[in-house]
A and B are shown apart, each in its own frame.
Chain A
Amino acid sequence: MFNLELVFPEIFLSLSIMFLLILGVFKNNSSKLVFNITIIVLIITAVITFNETLGIEKNLLFNNSIIIDYLSSFMKIITLLAAFLVLIISSSYLKTFKIFKIEYPILILSSVLGMMIMISSNDLIVFYVGLELQSLALYVLATFNRDQLKSSEAGLKYFVLSALSSGLLLYGCSLIYGFTGSTNFEIISYQLGANEYALTFGIVFILVGLAFKISAVPFHMWAPDVYEGSPTTVTLFFAIVPKIAALTVFIRFLYVPFLNLIDQWQMIIIFLSIASMLFGAIAAIGQTNLKRLIAYSSIGHVGYALAGVATGSNDGIQSSIIYITIYIVMNLGFFSCLLMLKRNKEYYEDIDDLSGLSKNHPLLSLSLLVILFSLAGIPPLAGFFAKFYIFKSVLEQSMYFLAIVGLLSTVVAAFYYLRIIKIIYFDKEKEKYDTDHSLWLKFSLCFSTFLIAIYFIFPSELIELISKINLI
C-alpha cells in the first residue's frame, strides 16, 4: 500500500517547481508572474498538508524511509507559512536592488521542498538528500545579489563551511550504518545494544553537522558573516526557515533512534545550549550592524530551543517547538522593521541608523519596542512565555544549572536589546525614512507585533496545537 496522498504536498511542490522553471525560461519578463504563482503555490501546499496529513496517525512510507505524523505535518505547515511570509515582504527589496528575478522564488521553493523532505525523513539517506537540496538552494540565495562583494563572500563562505559540515555528517551516518547495519531510524533503534560507545562517535558527528545548520556554538562562525552579507530578505529566510527543519530533525534523530542513549548525548546538547546562550548574549553586545546583531541573537535563541531538546522529555520537545514558533514571529517582525528603514532607494542596517526613530516614526518604533522587549523575554510579551515553557520543562528534570545559566544570559542579552531601544527612544533623531511601504510589509509588521503583544491573552491555543506532538 503506497498512500501516495500523504506525500502529495511534496509531489505538488516538485511539480510546481518544474512548471515554474519552464514558465520562467520560455516566457519573457515573467518574474512577477512566477513570484505571484510561487506565493499561491506555498499557500496551496500548506492547505494540502493541513487537509491530508495533519489529523492522521503515524504513517510510514517508502520502505519506512518517510514518516508522516503530527510533528512532521505541523512543522511543514509552519515552514510553508514562514516561507510564504518571507516571500510576500521581499518584493520591494528585491526590486530596489534589481534582483527581482525568477530564480529567487524558485530557489526558495526548492529549499522549502528540501526542508519538507528533511522534516519527514525517517532514514539517514533521505534526511541527507533533503538537507543537501535545501543547502544547495541556500548557497545560491546567499550570493543572490552577486554584484555586491559581501554577498558573494557570504555565499562562498557558507558553501565551504557547509560542505565541510555535510562531510562530517555523512561520516557520522556511515559510522552508524557500519555499527547497526541500517540507515533506517526504526531499525537503528533496535540495534543499539552492544555498540553503545561506537555509536556515540556517529551521533557526535551527526550532531556537529546539525549544530552547524542551526548555528549553535561552537559551529556558529558562519552565521554573522552570512547574515550580514546576504540580501536582507535572504537573511530573514536564513534566520527562520531552515531552523524549523533542522530543529525537527534534531528532535527526531535524537528521540527516535537514540532515545536510549540519552546519557551519551544529553551532555552534548546541554553544552551546545549553554555555550550558545552565553555566547549569543555576550558577543552581540559589541555589534554595530543590525543584521550581525540579529545573527548573534539568533545564536542565543537557538541555545534556548536546544535547552528544551536537552531535557529528554515530551514537555521539553513541545517547549522547544513553541519557542521556535514564537521566535519565527518575532524575527519576522524585526526584519519587517529592518526592511522599512529605506530612504531614497537605499536600505539602512546600522544600529545608529535607528537613532531617534521614535520622533519621526512613532508607530514603527512602538512595534520595534514590543518586538525587542519580547526578544529579550520580558513579560507580558510572547518571548517571555517561550522562555517560560523552556525553563518549566528544564526545571522539571531538575537541571538547575542549565536553567540558571539560561536565565542569567537573558539578563546579559537584555542589555543589547535595551541598547537598541535606547538608540530608538533616547537619542537624537535623524532624517525621516520613506513611508511608502508595500501593503504586505505593513501587514506582516502589524501581524507579528499584534501576535506578540496579545499572546498573553490566549496562551493556551498554541500549547493545545503542540500538545499533540508525542514522540516518547
Chain B
Amino acid sequence: MNFPILSSLILLPTIGAFFLLFTRSKKEENITIKYVALFTSLVNFFLSVYLWILFDSSTSEFQFVENRTWIKGLINYKVGVDGISILFIILTTFITPLCIISVNSSIKKRLSEFLIAVLIMESFMIGVFCSLDLVVFYLFFEAGLIPMFLIIGIWGGSRRVYSAFKFFLYTLLGSVLMLVAIISIYWISGTTDVTQLYEIGIDKKYQNLLWLAFFSSFAVKTPMWPVHTWLPDAHVEAPTAGSVLLAAILLKMAGYGFIRFSLGLFPIASESFTPLIYTLSVIAIIFTSLIALMQEDMKKLIAYSSVAHMGFVTLGVFTIQQQGIEGSIIQMISHGLVSAALFLSVGVLYDRMHSRLITTYGGIVTIVPKYSVLLMVFVLASLGLPGTSGFVGEFLILMGVFKDNFLVAVIASIGVILGAAYILWMYKRVVFGKLVNSDLKELIDLNKSEIFILSSLAVPILFFGFYPEPLINTIEVSISDLIEMYNLNLLYK
C-alpha cells in the first residue's frame, strides 16, 4: 500500500481551506463556498470509511504507517493508525461535514473564514489522532488552539473574548509542560518515536514527573475537575458548530492521549497515580452532575454534563481492564455523537428564539413534535438508556471499575442516576409542561437540513446501541495488547 492515505486525510481539508481562501463568491451568495467545504469534508469522510474497510482489526500493529525524515537526525514525520485511533479519525471526519451543513442558520457573517477555520481544525485533529511521534503529536495538539480561538472569538456570543482567552491560555499553560516532558524524553531515551518508545520503555525514575507533565496537559483538555472551568465558558460562547467540534472531538484528544501515552509510555507511573485519577474522576462525576442540575442555560448544562461524562472516560481508562478501556473508547465515541447532537438541538432552538435559557421554553411538544422526538432520543442516549450507544460505554466502564474498586464503582453509579436526573429534568422543562411563553407559538419545526443532520446522528447512536460489535471488534485486539504490554512492564519494574 503505497498511497499515503493518512497524510491525504490530514492534508485534504487544508487544501480545501486553501481553495476557499481564493474563492470569491458574490455578496450574500455563499452557496459555492459551502459546497466546496462540504465536498472536501465529505471526500475526507469517505476516505476515512475506506480506511476503516481496509483496516485489519486482527492485529495491534500500527497500520498505514508513513515514516519520513522531517527534521534531519531529530524527528521523523511518522503517522499510523491502530484500533484505538481509527475510530476517532472516523468520528472527526463524520462530525465535520455535519458542522458544515449546520452553519446555514447559525453563522451570519464571514462564512468563508469560518469554514476555513473548521477545515483547518479538522486537519489538525486528524493529525493528533494518527501521529506516532511525540513532537508531531504536540504540533497538531497545540496548533488546534489557533482555529478554535478564532471560532470562539469571532463568531461567539457576548462574552466571547473572555471565553476565547480563557480557553487559549488554560490549554496552552497545560501543554507547555508536556513540551518539556517530550524534549526530556528525547534526551532520556534518544527518540520521540512512539513505537520505539513502547519497545525501549522509559527509565522508571523519570516516569512520575513525565507522567505529571503529560497529565497537566491532558487534564486541562479532558477537562478534569478542578481545571474544567474553561469548558462551560467556551461552550456557552462558541457558535453551535464550534461547540460541536469542541465537545465531539477536541475533548477526545485528551482521552486518546491518556490511553496512547500515559498508559503506553509510563505504566509504572500510571499504576501509582491511578488513585489520583479515580478521586478526580469521581469528584468530577458527582460534583459537575450536581452543578448541571442547577443550570439555567441549556448549553451550560450540556457542557457540565460533558465534564461528567469525561469523568467516566478517565475512570475507565485507568481501570486497566479490557472492559474499562473498551468502554472508555465507546463512551468517547458515543459522547462525541450525543453531545454534538444535543448542542445542535440547542442551536436549533437558539436560532429561532435567541435564548438558551430553560425558562424561556416549556410545552413545545405540540408545536414542534419532530424536534421533540429527536431530542428525546439524544436525551435518553445521554443518560445511558439501554439500546443507545451511551449505555454500552457506561456499562462497560462500570463493569471494569467494579472489578477494580468497589467503592469507586458505587459512587460512579450514583453519578449515572444524577446524569439521568439533570438531563431528564431539562427535557421535561423544555418540552413538556404548560405553554407559558406565547412567543413559542410561532416556533417552526425542523427544516429538511436540520432533520438530516440530527437523524444522521441518531442513526449511529441507536445502531451502536443495539449492535456495538463493529466498534468493539475494531478496538479489541489493540487494547488487549496494550494491557498485556502494560502488565509486562509492571512485572519488570
Residues of A that sit less than 8 Å from B by CB: 362, 373, 378-380, 384, 388, 391-392, 395-396, 400, 403-404, 407-408, 410-411, 414-415, 418, 421-422, 425-426, 456, 459-460, 463-464
Contact = CB atoms under 8 A, between A and B. Distances in A.
Contacts of B69: 460
B176 A408 contact: yes
Contacts of B146: 373, 378
B138 interface: yes
B173 interface: yes
Contacts of A380: 139-140, 143
A422 B161 contact: yes
B280 to A, nearest CB: 23
Contact of B71 (A410, A418, A426, A460): A460
Interface stretch (B177-185, B316-324, B333-341): B177-185
Given A395-B180, A395-B184, A379 B169 contact: no
Given A411-B173, A422-B164, A395 B183 contact: yes
A408 B180 CA distance: 11
A65 to B, nearest CB: 37
A418 B142 contact: no
Contact of B153 (A373, A404, A422): A422
11 contacts: A373-B146, A378-B142, A378-B146, A388-B135, A395-B187, A408-B173, A411-B169, A415-B165, A415-B169, A425-B153, A463-B72
B181 to A, nearest CB: 10
A407 B176 contact: yes
B47 interface: no
A425 B150 contact: yes
A450 to B, nearest CB: 13
A414 B139 contact: no
B33 to A, nearest CB: 14
A279 to B, nearest CB: 19
Given A392-B183, A422-B153, A379 B172 contact: no
Given A426-B160, A459-B70, A411 B138 contact: no
B183 A418 contact: no
B145 interface: yes
A400 B113 CA distance: 40
B153 A459 contact: no
Given A380-B139, A395-B183, A395-B187, A414 B153 contact: no
Interface string B88-121: 0000000000000000000000000100000000
A388 to B, nearest CB: 8
Given A379-B143, A422-B165, 10 more contacts: A379-B140, A384-B142, A388-B183, A392-B183, A395-B187, A408-B176, A425-B153, A425-B154, A459-B71, A460-B71
B149 interface: yes
Contacts of A414: 168-169, 172
B350 interface: no
B261 interface: no
Given A411-B169, A414-B168, A464-B72, A426 B161 contact: yes
B177 A404 contact: yes
Contacts of A418: 149, 165, 168-169
B153 A411 contact: no
A159 to B, nearest CB: 40
A158 B192 CA distance: 47
Contact of B139 (A404, A410, A425, A456): A456
B241 to A, nearest CB: 17
A407 B72 CA distance: 24
B72 A404 contact: no
Q: Is the interface of A mostly helix, strand, loop or mixed?
A: helix
B187 A460 contact: no
Contacts of A463: 71-72, 74
B432 interface: no
A418 B173 CA distance: 14
A153 to B, nearest CB: 35
Contact of A407 (B70, B138, B180, B184): B180
A304 to B, nearest CB: 13
Interface residues of B, number: 34
A418 to B, nearest CB: 6
Contacts of A464: 72
A51 B71 CA distance: 28
B177 to A, nearest CB: 7
A98 B408 CA distance: 76
Nearest to A422: B161
B186 interface: yes
* Most-contacted residue by chain B among A384, A395, A408, A422 (CB, 10 A): A395
Contacts of A459: 70-71
Interface in B153-212: 153-154, 160-161, 164-165, 168-169, 172-173, 176-177, 179-180, 183-184, 186-187
Contact of B142 (A362, A379, A421, A422): A379
B165 A379 contact: no
B99 to A, nearest CB: 20
Nearest to B70: A459
Q: 8 closest A-B pairs (Cβ-Cβ)?
A: A407-B176, A460-B72, A379-B139, A395-B183, A459-B71, A379-B142, A411-B173, A426-B153
A411 B72 contact: no
Nearest to A400: B180
A410 B176 contact: yes
A379 B180 contact: no
A362 B113 CA distance: 10
A428 to B, nearest CB: 12
Interface string B123-157: 00000000000010011101101100110011000
B13 to A, nearest CB: 14
Nearest to A457: B70
B205 to A, nearest CB: 13
Nearest to B165: A418
A25 B176 CA distance: 57
A395 B177 CA distance: 13
A435 to B, nearest CB: 17
Contacts of A456: 139
A388 B168 CA distance: 19
Nearest to B112: A362
A404 B161 contact: no
A392 B73 CA distance: 13
Nearest to A419: B165
Contact of B183 (A384, A391, A408): A391
A386 to B, nearest CB: 13
B60 to A, nearest CB: 29
A373 B243 CA distance: 23
Nearest to B138: A379
A460 B77 CA distance: 12
Nearest to B152: A426
Contact of A403 (B135, B168, B172, B180): B180
B94 to A, nearest CB: 25
A425 B153 CA distance: 8
Nearest to A365: B113
B179 A391 contact: yes
Contacts of B160: 426
Nearest to A414: B172
A213 to B, nearest CB: 30
Nearest to B209: A400
B180 A391 contact: yes
Contacts of A373: 146
* Most-contacted residue by chain A among B138, B153, B172 (CB, 10 A): B172
B483 to A, nearest CB: 32
Contacts of A403: 180, 183
B405 to A, nearest CB: 34
B17 to A, nearest CB: 12
A3 to B, nearest CB: 33
A410 B176 CA distance: 9
